[in-house]
Copies of this chain bind each other. A is one copy, B any other.
Amino acid sequence: MKQRLLTPGPSPVPEETLLELAKPVFYHRSAQFRQILGEVLEDLKYVYCTRNTIAPLTASGTGGMEAAVANCLAPGSKAIVAVAGKFGERWRSIAKTFGVEVVSVTVPYGQAVQPEQIEQALRQHPDAAAVCATLSETSTGIRHDIRAFGDIVSRTNALYMVDGISGLGVAECRVDDWHIDICVTGSQKALMLPPGLAFVSISDKAWQRIDQNAPTRVFYFDLRKYRDNLKNNDTPFTPAHTLVKALRVSLKMLRAEGIENVWARHARMAAACRAGVQALGLELFAAQPIDGLTVVNTPEGVDGVALVSKLEKQYGIRIAGGQDPLKGKIFRIAHMGYIDQFDVLAALSALEMVLMEMGYSLEPGTSVAAAQKVLAEQVRKG
């Protein structure tokens, strides 16, 4: 059976990029690799909309978040953390591990922290050394208003640190214009690569803080080592260099498409998917949804875990269920990276069939027709 991967990371990888990974291994301390890394970092700056340094780490995205905290925040300093789900909680856990006092701005799962809440927290804690936020809270499907947060934080001395792991390259995120001092992303989402690389952009304001701290608590994630080596387009430790070389292929695709078009493509897929599930009478879980995935409440009387399993076993459609307290209560259909509009249609088609089988009442075609109407709008318009 043909398999379709619609999980919010790892997401599918273009065939041309996969083929790059099958090429012979080369030496990383070479002019060849320095050339490749230089190109990749330039193209990443385009995706990030930044002129800041980008450090390439061989690690999961969480390693990038740890690098941000360990380098920028001294023990005993204070961080305001926007917590709307599992990944906001991760900022909090990492900060606590590194001895940072955390002020949590928490909302219930499914909601997004609002700019006024950040403003208020900063007013109450003018000594905050950082504000940490999540662009795409993949556990619940919400999007934070990263731009509005940035306007607020930029008027203070706090660093603005954003987890863009599953959001960068999905939704508009302009690191420089939006005053983002640290932006972390991972390779296995919108960048269309397997997991293994994390990237961290670092503003001048962040570098000043890092140089003041002179962090002595990290070795592998010491960003100053990366800065030194990047002068020669090199890395301090052996990088996952075949992934870097393959990333060049995926980034060229994003660059050829144009980043605004990439964002628009994700917005269109998201609108189609939302229209499709809502046409079935299903409800969205996320109050303020991100365009990389659609999170849906499991309807009453339907077993959410079985639904996800049936989609895979019977139709080859792999979506994600809810995690931890949300297990069975929601399901998550990703549409990011190399997932396209027709994959979304396939997911809706299979969803209709599985829901019918599970006794949920619906008229076949309802969701795919609703999604198709959204997709077809681009034809009428253009």
Residues of A within 8 A of B (CB): 3, 5, 7, 9-13, 18-19, 21-30, 58-63, 66, 93-94, 97-98, 186, 188, 194-196, 216-222, 237-243, 318, 320
| A61 contacts B25, C-beta separation under 8 Å | no
Chain B residues closer than 8 Å to A63, beta-carbon distance: 58-59, 220, 237
How many monomers of this chain does the complex have? Answer: 2
Q: In the complex the two chains form, is B9's CB within 8 Å of A26's CB?
A: no
Q: Is the CB of B21 within 8 A of A238?
A: no
B239 touches A60 (CB 8 A): yes
A216 partner residues in chain B, CB cutoff 8 A = 97
Alpha-carbon distance between A10 and B33 when the two chains are bound, in angstroms: 12
Which residue of B is nearest A215, CB measured?
Answer: B97
Interface of A is mostly: loop
Chain B residues whose CB sits within 8 angstroms of the CB of A242 once the complex forms: 21, 194-196
Q: Would you list 12 pairs from A and B whose C-beta atoms are within 8 A, ordered by A residue?
A: A10-B25, A10-B241, A11-B25, A30-B318, A58-B60, A58-B196, A59-B59, A62-B220, A97-B216, A97-B217, A195-B241, A240-B240
Q: Residue A24 contacts which of B18, B29, B222, B239 (CB distance < 8 angstroms)?
A: B18
Beyond A10-B238, A18-B22, list 14 extra A-B contacts (CB 8 Å).
A5-B27, A10-B26, A12-B24, A27-B318, A59-B63, A59-B220, A62-B219, A62-B237, A63-B220, A66-B220, A186-B238, A194-B240, A196-B243, A240-B240
Find chain B residues with CB under 8 A from A5 CB. Answer: 24-27
User: Are B27 and A219 touching (Cβ within 8 A)?
Assistant: no
Contacts of A221 in B (CB 8 A): 220
| Residue in B11, B61, B97, B222 whose beta carbon sits within 8 Å of that of A218 in the complex | B97
Whether the pair A9, B238 counts as a contact (CB closer than 8 A) is: yes
Which of A23, A58, A62, A220 has most chain B Cβ within 10 Å?
A220
Could you tell me the distance between the alpha carbons of A305 and B213 in the complex, rounded to whole angstroms? 39
The 4 closest A-B pairs by CB, nearest first: A196-B240, A22-B22, A21-B21, A194-B242
CA of A30 to CA of B30 in the docked complex: distance in angstroms? 38
